[in-house]
Amino acid sequence: MLSKLCPNLYVESLHCIDLSHLRDIGVLGIVFDIDNTVTMWGSKEVSPTTLKWLEDAKAYGFRVCLLSNNRKARIDDISHMLNIPSAKGFKPFGSAFRSALCVLGTSPRETTIIGDQIFTDILGGNRAGLYTILVQPMSTTEFITTRFLRRLERIVLRKLACRGLLNREDCDLRDPAE
Ligand SMILES: [Mg+2]
Protein backbone atom coordinates (compact mmCIF):
# COMPACT_ATOMS: atom_id res chain seq x y z
CA MET A 1 0.00 0.00 0.00
CA LEU A 2 2.79 2.41 0.93
CA SER A 3 4.23 2.17 -2.59
CA LYS A 4 0.92 3.38 -4.05
CA LEU A 5 1.22 6.49 -1.87
CA CYS A 6 4.78 7.24 -2.96
CA PRO A 7 5.23 9.94 -5.61
CA ASN A 8 7.84 9.41 -8.31
CA LEU A 9 9.07 12.90 -7.53
CA TYR A 10 8.52 15.28 -4.62
CA VAL A 11 9.25 18.99 -5.11
CA GLU A 12 8.49 22.25 -3.39
CA SER A 13 6.47 23.74 -6.23
CA LEU A 14 5.70 23.55 -9.94
CA HIS A 15 8.68 25.76 -10.70
CA CYS A 16 11.06 23.10 -9.43
CA ILE A 17 9.95 20.63 -12.12
CA ASP A 18 12.39 20.38 -14.99
CA LEU A 19 10.32 20.25 -18.18
CA SER A 20 13.19 18.90 -20.25
CA HIS A 21 13.54 16.00 -17.78
CA LEU A 22 9.85 15.16 -18.25
CA ARG A 23 10.36 15.13 -22.00
CA ASP A 24 13.47 12.94 -21.62
CA ILE A 25 11.53 10.28 -19.69
CA GLY A 26 8.84 10.12 -22.37
CA VAL A 27 6.13 12.31 -20.85
CA LEU A 28 3.82 13.84 -23.46
CA GLY A 29 0.91 14.96 -21.31
CA ILE A 30 0.59 16.73 -17.96
CA VAL A 31 -2.46 16.59 -15.68
CA PHE A 32 -2.64 19.40 -13.14
CA ASP A 33 -4.52 19.55 -9.91
CA ILE A 34 -5.84 23.10 -9.27
CA ASP A 35 -6.16 24.00 -5.58
CA ASN A 36 -2.88 24.53 -3.79
CA THR A 37 -1.00 23.35 -6.89
CA VAL A 38 -1.76 26.02 -9.51
CA THR A 39 -3.75 28.47 -7.37
CA MET A 40 -4.12 29.11 -3.66
CA TRP A 41 -7.09 27.20 -2.26
CA GLY A 42 -10.35 28.93 -3.26
CA SER A 43 -8.55 31.66 -5.19
CA LYS A 44 -8.72 32.28 -8.92
CA GLU A 45 -5.43 34.14 -8.98
CA VAL A 46 -2.49 32.48 -10.65
CA SER A 47 0.92 33.98 -9.91
CA PRO A 48 2.97 35.31 -12.84
CA THR A 49 5.64 32.66 -12.15
CA THR A 50 3.08 29.85 -12.30
CA LEU A 51 1.54 31.34 -15.45
CA LYS A 52 4.97 31.43 -17.07
CA TRP A 53 5.68 27.80 -16.09
CA LEU A 54 2.35 26.71 -17.58
CA GLU A 55 3.06 28.65 -20.79
CA ASP A 56 6.54 27.10 -20.93
CA ALA A 57 4.98 23.63 -20.60
CA LYS A 58 2.68 24.35 -23.52
CA ALA A 59 5.56 25.81 -25.54
CA TYR A 60 7.56 22.62 -24.92
CA GLY A 61 4.75 20.81 -26.68
CA PHE A 62 3.22 19.07 -23.66
CA ARG A 63 -0.51 18.43 -23.83
CA VAL A 64 -2.05 19.80 -20.64
CA CYS A 65 -5.28 19.24 -18.74
CA LEU A 66 -6.80 20.14 -15.35
CA LEU A 67 -8.26 17.56 -12.97
CA SER A 68 -9.76 18.84 -9.73
CA ASN A 69 -12.22 17.64 -7.11
CA ASN A 70 -13.58 21.16 -6.71
CA ARG A 71 -16.91 22.51 -7.99
CA LYS A 72 -17.54 22.40 -11.74
CA ALA A 73 -18.13 26.15 -11.96
CA ARG A 74 -14.75 26.86 -10.37
CA ILE A 75 -12.95 24.35 -12.59
CA ASP A 76 -14.60 25.85 -15.68
CA ASP A 77 -13.54 29.37 -14.66
CA ILE A 78 -9.89 28.37 -14.14
CA SER A 79 -9.93 26.27 -17.30
CA HIS A 80 -11.22 29.23 -19.30
CA MET A 81 -8.78 31.66 -17.70
CA LEU A 82 -5.73 29.45 -18.34
CA ASN A 83 -6.98 28.17 -21.68
CA ILE A 84 -6.37 24.60 -20.47
CA PRO A 85 -9.06 21.91 -20.90
CA SER A 86 -10.37 20.06 -17.88
CA ALA A 87 -11.26 16.42 -17.28
CA LYS A 88 -14.23 15.11 -15.32
CA GLY A 89 -14.24 12.83 -12.31
CA PHE A 90 -13.29 12.57 -8.69
CA LYS A 91 -9.75 11.69 -7.64
CA PRO A 92 -8.51 9.14 -6.68
CA PHE A 93 -11.04 7.15 -8.73
CA GLY A 94 -9.72 5.59 -11.91
CA SER A 95 -12.52 7.08 -14.01
CA ALA A 96 -11.15 10.59 -13.32
CA PHE A 97 -7.71 9.62 -14.62
CA ARG A 98 -9.19 7.81 -17.64
CA SER A 99 -11.12 10.99 -18.41
CA ALA A 100 -7.88 13.02 -18.24
CA LEU A 101 -6.05 10.56 -20.52
CA CYS A 102 -8.93 10.81 -22.96
CA VAL A 103 -8.69 14.63 -23.00
CA LEU A 104 -4.91 14.46 -23.53
CA GLY A 105 -4.90 11.56 -25.97
CA THR A 106 -1.94 9.98 -24.14
CA SER A 107 -1.29 6.63 -22.49
CA PRO A 108 -0.69 6.38 -18.72
CA ARG A 109 3.06 5.87 -19.28
CA GLU A 110 3.21 9.07 -21.34
CA THR A 111 1.43 11.12 -18.69
CA THR A 112 2.26 12.78 -15.40
CA ILE A 113 -0.06 14.09 -12.69
CA ILE A 114 1.11 17.04 -10.62
CA GLY A 115 -0.74 17.69 -7.37
CA ASP A 116 -0.41 18.50 -3.69
CA GLN A 117 -2.37 15.63 -2.10
CA ILE A 118 -1.15 12.09 -1.53
CA PHE A 119 -4.56 10.47 -1.07
CA THR A 120 -6.10 11.93 -4.23
CA ASP A 121 -3.46 13.02 -6.78
CA ILE A 122 -0.68 10.55 -5.97
CA LEU A 123 -2.71 7.48 -4.98
CA GLY A 124 -5.00 7.84 -8.00
CA GLY A 125 -2.13 8.62 -10.35
CA ASN A 126 -0.07 5.65 -9.21
CA ARG A 127 -3.02 3.29 -9.48
CA ALA A 128 -3.70 4.54 -13.01
CA GLY A 129 -0.03 4.03 -13.97
CA LEU A 130 0.94 7.70 -14.38
CA TYR A 131 4.24 9.33 -13.40
CA THR A 132 3.31 11.12 -10.18
CA ILE A 133 4.72 14.40 -8.90
CA LEU A 134 3.85 15.72 -5.44
CA VAL A 135 4.22 19.44 -4.77
CA GLN A 136 4.00 21.10 -1.38
CA PRO A 137 0.63 22.86 -0.90
CA MET A 138 0.75 26.59 -1.72
CA SER A 139 -1.18 27.50 1.44
CA THR A 140 -2.50 25.98 4.64
CA THR A 141 -6.07 27.13 3.99
CA GLU A 142 -8.08 24.07 2.91
CA PHE A 143 -11.25 22.05 3.40
CA ILE A 144 -11.55 20.67 6.93
CA THR A 145 -11.35 17.11 5.57
CA THR A 146 -8.13 17.96 3.75
CA ARG A 147 -6.64 19.40 6.94
CA PHE A 148 -7.33 16.07 8.63
CA LEU A 149 -5.75 14.13 5.76
CA ARG A 150 -2.64 16.33 5.99
CA ARG A 151 -1.86 14.68 9.35
CA LEU A 152 -1.95 11.27 7.69
CA GLU A 153 0.12 12.61 4.80
CA ARG A 154 2.83 13.73 7.21
CA ILE A 155 2.99 10.19 8.65
CA VAL A 156 3.20 8.68 5.15
CA LEU A 157 5.90 11.14 4.08
CA ARG A 158 7.95 10.34 7.20
CA LYS A 159 7.67 6.59 6.53
CA LEU A 160 8.60 7.01 2.86
CA ALA A 161 11.58 9.17 3.79
CA CYS A 162 12.73 6.68 6.46
CA ARG A 163 12.69 3.87 3.92
CA GLY A 164 14.61 5.98 1.40
CA LEU A 165 11.71 5.88 -1.05
CA LEU A 166 11.14 9.62 -1.36
CA ASN A 167 12.75 11.09 -4.47
CA ARG A 168 12.94 14.68 -3.34
CA GLU A 169 14.40 17.46 -5.47
CA ASP A 170 14.98 20.89 -4.04
CA CYS A 171 15.38 23.99 -6.12
CA ASP A 172 16.15 27.65 -5.70
CA LEU A 173 12.83 29.49 -5.72
CA ARG A 174 14.30 32.94 -5.31
CA ASP A 175 13.55 35.42 -8.02
CA PRO A 176 16.81 35.89 -10.01
CA ALA A 177 16.09 39.66 -10.08
CA GLU A 178 16.36 39.87 -6.26
MG1 LIG B 1 -4.93 20.28 -4.47
Question: Model confidence over 23-63: pLDDT tens digits?
Answer: 999 999 999 999 999 998 888 899 999 999 999 999 999 99
Distance 115 CA to ligand 1 centre (A): 6
The fold adopted by the segment(s) 2-167 is Rossmann fold (3.40.50)
Distance 99 CA to ligand 1 centre (A): 18
For residue 172, pLDDT beyond 70: no
Distance 114 CA to ligand 1 centre (A): 9
Distance 176 CA to ligand 1 centre (A): 27
Predicted local distance difference test score (pLDDT) of residue 140 = 81
**pTM score, whole prediction:** 0.93
Predicted local distance difference test score (pLDDT) of residue 77 = 95
For residue 114, pLDDT beyond 70: yes
Distance 61 CA to ligand 1 centre (A): 24
Predicted local distance difference test score (pLDDT) of residue 44 = 87
Distance 124 CA to ligand 1 centre (A): 13
The greatest distance separating any two alpha carbons of the chain, rounded to the nearest whole angstrom, comes to 44
Share of the chain above pLDDT 90, in %: 83
Predicted local distance difference test score (pLDDT) of residue 105 = 98
**Beta-carbon contacts of residue 176 (< 8 Å; ≥ 6 apart):** none
CA angle 129, 170, 148 (to 5 degrees): 65
Rounded mean pLDDT of 126-135? 98
Q: Give CA–CA dist 141/42, Å, rounded.
A: 9
Helix (H, G, I), strand (E, B) or coil at 138: coil
Distance 55 CA to ligand 1 centre (A): 20
Distance 72 CA to ligand 1 centre (A): 15
Distance 31 CA to ligand 1 centre (A): 12
